[in-house]
Amino acid sequence: MARRMSPAEARATRSALERMQRTVYLATGIAAALVAALPRGANGFLAQVDQLQPPFWAFTVLVGIAIPVAYAPLAFLVSMRTMRVLVTASAAGFVLAQVLFVPAMTVSTLNDAAAPWLQGFGALHATLLAVAWNRPAVWLFPVAQLPLVATVEYYASGGILEQSLLDGVGALVTCLILTGAGAGVVTAAARQDVEAARAREEAALEASLRTGEREQARINALVHDEIISVLLAAVRTPASPAVAERAERALGSVAAIRGSGLRSPTAAYPPEQLVAALRATASEIDEDVLVTSRVTAEGDIPASVVAAMAEATGEALRNSVIHGGEPGETVARVVAVSVADDEVRVSVRDDGRGFVPRNVSSRRLGLQVSIHGRMAALRGGGSRVVSAPGQGTTVDLWWRPEAVA
């Protein structure tokens, strides 16, 4: 069963479009409350309560005021689908209330030739519909306000045609402007989401290319160092019995790089070279990082695993250096490497100030792309971040070869 996201996690994963929609719902709810509270004299809903049939008056208050005001507390509590249903239902109810207003009156005309109290509240629904749907059909609502407002006011207020038409045109213009504004901000927010997604893809691609180049150079340097160490061992007297085996392993590494390249799935390296790559990665970022290793595996490790582990480890250490403590504060960092036949595991730990992982935005590329994304893209790979304020941080990386088989 999927775990339900916490409010903080939900906020972190919301798109620009959703954040904008929820903000408009909140603002509209507050605006509806303020408009309803304004004194309107004979045009107010309280002044007309005894001029309408009680059930109908309650219905008009529900769709004209109560539901729109409820958007303020509901804006960040319920799902977008629920909000869309509420917006659509209340807008349809509002139009129905306009159509039934005159038949539901208990008097021939409203007192003091007042306008129906619903006039003016249509602008709220026009805005909400545009924000909720942003479809061509939403323009039907403001267009419908001209005949609805003019006709209802003409019969409810005593037949003043000119004033009724002016109010109808005013309602049309206001609703058209707000519908356009709502559609505009929705389109802009959606475009922002598209651009953000494109930027993340480009950043991920750039990070991948940069990682490949960096890891190619690092592995080549390690192989070079291994060859030098073999040559130095060979000239010693007496020569070590292991020189021949080490030379064969070094030549195999060179052949793997020359023949298939770092990104080829056929390239592989001995477990010791994974440890050496991680040790080199750690020393480049912080010379004080302690690297421990336990190697029990005998088989080689794919180059893609070496590259992914080195990149994710490097990103975890860089995050620790940048965010783990205040400038000048001493933070202990340990990289523990375990290479077994059934699993390769790397644990990056520090005793820094820590953080709350679920509060980190999904748009933070370092964590999402270079750690989680990098390991998730590796078949059989995975990652986990465990941290808490004041408790330090642990980043676990793993790769299981049986998942690849």
Report pLDDT digits (tens) over 350-402: 998 888 887 776 555 567 777 888 888 888 999 999 999 889 999 999 999 87
Order of strands, sheet of 290-295, starting from the edge strand that comes earlier in the sequence: 290-295, 333-339, 344-350, 393-399, 381-387
For residue 180, report the phi and psi dihedrals to the nearest 5 degrees. -65, -40
The pLDDT, as a whole number, for residue 215 is 57
CATH of segment(s) 267-405: 3.30.565.10
Local structure of residue 238 (DSSP, 8 states): S
Whether 149 shows a pLDDT value over 90: the answer reads: yes
Whether 259 shows a pLDDT value over 50: the answer reads: no
Taken in order 177, 181, 182, 184, the sign of the CA dihedral is positive
Burial class (CB in 10 A: 0-12, 13-18, 19+), 270: buried
Mean pLDDT of 237-253: 62
The pLDDT, as a whole number, for residue 405 is 54
Mean pLDDT of 111-121: 89
- Out of 230-244, 261-275, 370-384, pick the least confident: 230-244
The pLDDT, as a whole number, for residue 165 is 93
What band does 226 get if pLDDT is binned at 50, 70 and 90?
low
Provide CB contacts within 8 A for 121, sequence distance 6+.
32, 35, 64, 65, 68, 94
User: Strand, coil or helix: what is 328?
Assistant: coil
Q: At what angle do helices 122-133 and 161-235 cross, to 10 degrees?
A: 30
Q: How far apart are CA 79 and CA 101, in angstroms?
A: 32
Structure tokens at 366: 């370092």
The pLDDT, as a whole number, for residue 206 is 62
In whole numbers, what is the pLDDT of the chain averaged over residues?
82
Whether 100 shows a pLDDT value over 80: the answer reads: yes
Helix (H) or strand (E) holding 221: helix 161-235
Q: At what angle do helices 80-100 and 140-157 cross, to 10 degrees?
A: 30
299 vs 155, higher pLDDT: 155
Taken in order 192, 197, 198, 199, the sign of the CA dihedral is positive
The pLDDT, as a whole number, for residue 173 is 95
**Cα-based angle 254, 256, 262 (whole degrees, multiple of 5):** 105
User: What residue ranges do the domains of the chain occupy?
Assistant: 12-198, 267-405
CB atoms within 10 A of CB 85: 13
What is the separation of C-alpha 77 from the centre of its chain, rounded to a whole number of angstroms? 17
Mean pLDDT of 326-337: 87
CB atoms within 10 A of CB 260: 14
Whether 264 shows a pLDDT value over 60: the answer reads: no
Q: How far apart are CA 283 and CA 280, in angstroms?
A: 5
Q: How far apart are CA 128 and CA 63, in angstroms?
A: 13
Whether 10 shows a pLDDT value over 60: the answer reads: no
145 vs 405, higher pLDDT: 145
9 vs 393, higher pLDDT: 393
Local structure of residue 52 (DSSP, 8 states): B
- Out of 305-314, 325-334, 396-405, pick the least confident: 396-405
Whether 261 shows a pLDDT value over 50: the answer reads: no
**Cα-based angle 79, 85, 87 (whole degrees, multiple of 5):** 100
Mean pLDDT of 13-33: 87
Q: How far apart are CA 321 and CA 171, in angstroms?
A: 59
The amino acid present at 86, given as its one-letter code, is L
Q: Which of 345, 342, 321 is nearest to 333 (CA)?
A: 321
The pLDDT, as a whole number, for residue 294 is 92
Whether 242 shows a pLDDT value over 80: the answer reads: no
The pLDDT, as a whole number, for residue 14 is 66
The pLDDT, as a whole number, for residue 3 is 42
Q: Say what the pTM is.
A: 0.55
Mean pLDDT of 130-142: 92
Whether 4 shows a pLDDT value over 60: the answer reads: no
Structure tokens at 374: 């990098």
* E-state strands within 214-357: 268-269, 290-295, 301-302, 333-339, 344-350
Cis peptide before 357 (omega within 30 of 0): no
Place of tokens 């109560």: 66
Q: How much of the chain exceeds pLDDT 70, in percent?
A: 77
Span 167-205, pLDDT tens digits? 999 999 999 999 999 999 888 888 888 887 776 666 666
- Out of 32-41, 118-127, 166-175, 234-243, pick the least confident: 234-243
Whether 105 shows a pLDDT value over 90: the answer reads: yes
Q: How far apart are CA 311 and CA 301, in angstroms?
A: 16
Whether 152 shows a pLDDT value over 50: the answer reads: yes
Q: Which of 374, 17, 368 is nearest to 194 (CA)?
A: 17
201 vs 130, higher pLDDT: 130
- Give the chain's radius of gyration (CA, Å): 34
The pLDDT, as a whole number, for residue 57 is 94
Mean pLDDT of 214-239: 59
What band does 27 get if pLDDT is binned at 50, 70 and 90?
very high
Burial class (CB in 10 A: 0-12, 13-18, 19+), 119: buried
Structure tokens at 20: 């904008």
For residue 334, report the phi and psi dihedrals to the nearest 5 degrees. -130, 135
